[in-house]
Structure 1
Amino acid sequence: MELSTSYLGLRLRNPLVASAGPLSQTVDGVRSLAGAGVGAVVMYSLFEEQVRRQRVLDAELEERYEESSPEALSYFPTPDSTPEPGVADRYVTLVERAASAVDVPVIASINGSSLGGWVTIARQLADAGAAAIELNIYFVPGDLSITGAEVEQRHLDIVGAVRAAVPLPIAVKLSPYFSSPGNMALRLIEAGADGLVLFNRFLQPEVDIETLTVKPSVALSTRFEGRLPRTWIAALARHTRASLAATSGVEEAADVIRYLLAGADVVMTTSALVRHGAEYAGTLLDGLQEWMRRRGYSSVDDFRGLLAVPADAAGASSYLRAGYVAALENARRIYGSLRY
């Protein structure tokens, strides 16, 4: 049975990919994921804020001594002391070690919302042996005067700058909250993205009514959250040759299969692996193969995109509209007779 697939021009042994998360923060963690059978590993994200903070500290150190007398050598570290590596240096080193430790592609992840120093870091990651770079663009404009066009342009500028800097394949992990997600997806591909990861999850804080505070929180995804990315993957699958990666809402093998039927090239998961352990990847893959045997499929390509939206624009609009109407009619039949 053939499970291999292509993602970002990389040939993977299967379509299950461990997405950025706590399990990919160490070399041992990456080894455990690869050993469990995943087709590729996305490293945990290097955050723009971490890099910026390191730069501030470096600048403060430099300013502290720039007015000192050249003769005052005691101000400076002794020659045998080794400077502490910055956060970006540590991340690059981790990627290098992880890439050398496993036989599956290791994809570096950069999380940011501005151009920042991503070009320099992207070059370092390419030299470190990363197979590809995932740009996790997380931008929530607090300034309400920023227009949708400006938000979109920021995404395009980041992709264009990194594309011009490195030869590695680039995937963009983006939000679904654009006025036209499908059009934005195609524009990102035109700007240089080799693939898209659908979708980034906006973390929504909780309100504590006793302490009157807002508490940032992170929750693992649920199966229901897979419906939104699956809808847009199905809509895009027949309109681009770029890679499409699904993320969020994977709990069982059935969820992996649903994404592949919609047209995903790979299916990423973190929540299921955090809940059940890295070895759960084997359970998901076993379930995929068992379903393929029952249905008579010999390869993933035999059924990938089987339920994707039609390619022509008129047909796609009618298809999606018909699904919406059918869903409401079904809801009316189920819930319309309820009395309160």
Structure 2
Amino acid sequence: MDLSTKYLGLDLRNPLIASAGPLTSSADGVRRLAEAGVGAVVLPSLFEEQLTQEANRDSWLAAGGADSFPEALSYRPGAAYEAWPHRYLHLISQARAAAGPGVPVIASLNGVSPGGWTNYATAMEDAGAAAVELNIYYLPGDPLIPARDAEQRYTEILLAVKAAVRIPVAVKIGPYFSSPGEMAAVLDRAGADGLVLFNRFLQTDIDPETFTVSRGFRLSSPGEASLPRTWIRLLHGKVRCSLAATTGVENWADVAAYLLAGADAVMTTSALLRHGPAYAAVLVGGLASWMQRKGFVTVAGLRGLMSDEANLTAPGRGGYLSAIEQATHAFGAPGALA
């Protein structure tokens, strides 16, 4: 049974990737995930705001030193005050050692505006990252921002990072575009080595008792997988870059379904947080058992079998009408659910 796959041009021993989260924030966590059998790990994000804050702090220290003593120009805070961007580079090298040679370590860079912070990708590469996942967490709050201006920002950030590094760059995006397929094609043409579908944006809610707006973050559930799975089905074979699935993975069947849709790799954080790092072995083992039962010898042999490229019915108007008719027949009178 061959579970190996390629993602971003990297050779993975299997398609399961531990995505960014608390379990990948330490070398020990990465080691436990690697021992449990993941194919790769994505480290937690380093944020644009953190890099900007550090740059401002360094500028302030340098400016203050210029007015006092020459020795102050070379002063930098010691290890006790070491900022997260510096510690992040240490995490990359430590995670590489903990993961071992067969498990690539992918760094994550999170930002929303074109600027010098993207150059930090070079430091990630120098520290040993096998690739960079570019998490563009951008929801325009101004209703007057033109859609094209918002979308152009993704391309500008991608081009800046691609110009800074030689390693592969994946772009993690959300589904909230007027045409997600076109956006995927635009990023593909701009040089993205992979697309991660989809980012789960923080959504607020209102408590009518306390009159407060909540900003809590919830783990994903299997019901959320249908949206990214639909778009992976549609994009498989239509873009050059790799496709990674994320969101809604709870068991091996979710992994298998994503692969059948056309994913090159399947990421999860929520399932590993619920059940622990060792659960990766359950997911990989379940996938292998299912493949053997269904007669698949390789992951490549099953990838995309249920994609739109395989000439299966696409979720257009016909599929929508059919679904409404089935639901109406099962649950209510004609037109009740339209």
Using the size of structure 2 for normalisation, the TM-score is 0.92
**Cα distance in structure 1, aligned partners of 2:314 and 2:118:** 42
**Cα distance in structure 2, aligned partners of 1:248 and 1:78:** 46
Match among 319, 324, 330 for residue 334 of structure 1: 330
Shift of 1:69: 6.2
State the one-letter code of the partner of 2:54: Q
Q: Is the 8 A contact 2:24 2:44 kept in 1?
A: yes
Q: Is the 8 A contact 1:309 1:319 kept in 2?
A: no
**1:15-94 residue pairs with structure 2 within 5 A?**
15-68=15-68, 76=72, 82=78, 84-94=81-91
Change (3 A) 1:225 1:59: same
Shift of 1:241: 2.7
State the one-letter code of the partner of 2:205: E
Task: Name structure 2 gaps, 5 residues minimum.
Answer: none
Match of 2:98 in 1: 101
Aligned residue pairs total 332
Match of 1:325 in 2: 321
**Cα distance in structure 2, aligned partners of 1:190 and 1:81:** 43
2:42 counterpart SS class: strand
Q: Is the 8 A contact 2:306 2:312 kept in 1?
A: no
**Cα distance in structure 2, aligned partners of 1:117 and 1:177:** 26
Shift of 1:144: 2.0
Match of 1:132 in 2: 131
1:302 counterpart SS class: coil
**1:167-316 residue pairs with structure 2 within 5 A?**
167-310=166-309
Task: Name structure 1 gaps, 5 residues minimum.
Answer: none
**Cα distance in structure 2, aligned partners of 1:81 and 1:91:** 16
Q: Bigger shift: 52-61 or 19-28?
A: 52-61
Shift of 1:77: 9.6
For each residue in 1:226-249, what CA deviation from the matched residue of structure 2 results, as whole angstroms up to 9, or x when unmatched? Answer: 000000000000212310000000
**Cα distance in structure 1, aligned partners of 2:108 and 2:253:** 27
1:109 counterpart SS class: strand
Shift of 1:79: 8.0
**Cα distance in structure 1, aligned partners of 2:256 and 2:123:** 36
Shift of 1:317: 8.6
1:224 counterpart SS class: helix
Using the size of structure 1 for normalisation, the TM-score is 0.92
Q: Bigger shift: 149-158 or 198-207?
A: 198-207
Change (3 A) 1:214 1:14: same
Shift of 1:337: 4.7
Shift of 1:22: 0.8
**Cα distance in structure 1, aligned partners of 2:130 and 2:68:** 45
What is the root-mean-square deviation of aligned Cα atoms in Å? 2.2
1:283 counterpart SS class: helix
2:43 counterpart SS class: strand
Match of 1:11 in 2: 11
Shift of 1:96: 1.4
**Cα distance in structure 2, aligned partners of 1:167 and 1:96:** 18
1:326 counterpart SS class: helix
2:219 counterpart SS class: coil
Q: Is the 8 A contact 1:43 1:106 kept in 2?
A: yes
Q: Is the 8 A contact 2:171 2:194 kept in 1?
A: yes
Provide the identity percentage.
53
Change (3 A) 1:210 1:2: same
2:238 counterpart SS class: coil
**Cα distance in structure 1, aligned partners of 2:56 and 2:206:** 32
